[in-house]
Amino acid sequence: MAEVPKFFGNTSETGQNLCHVRVMEVAKAAAGELYESMMSNDAFFKAWKKQNPGANPKQLEKRFIDKNWGSCLEFARATLTIMLTRSDVADSVKDEIMVVLEQDQTLRNRRVGTPPFR
């Protein structure tokens, strides 16, 4: 039996309603990297800390990622697409990425296939 794809709602207010779980994971990782980069600037860190009083460092990072991962969706999709062209990525991984991107595209276009029953 084929594995049922996993989809998650995007509550990030980006205009995208759904994305594939793997795209979300890459987007969240990108948001985490963005957090590390931005928070190395004291002004950004102080402003974020002020917006989240009483939060510890882990909570600050999680809140940033939860708030901003939707803004990293296109970067995540582009990253996955670029991985398809790399010679150091195994063909089996490329096949998985292709399925993820196809399913994600279907969601983005809100195309509905023919139902299996009538």
* Tens-place pLDDT, residues 12-62: 444 545 799 999 999 999 999 999 999 999 999 999 999 999 999 999 999
User: What is the C-alpha to C-alpha distance for residues 82 and 7, in angstroms, rounded to an integer?
Assistant: 22
Mean pLDDT of the chain: 85
Instruction: Give SS3 for 33.
Output: helix
Sequential DSSP letters for 44-106: HHHHHHHHSTT--HHHHHHHHHHHHGGGGHHHHHHHHHHHTT-TTS-HHHHHHHHHHHHHHHH
Ranges of each domain in the chain: 10-109
pLDDT at 82 over 90: yes
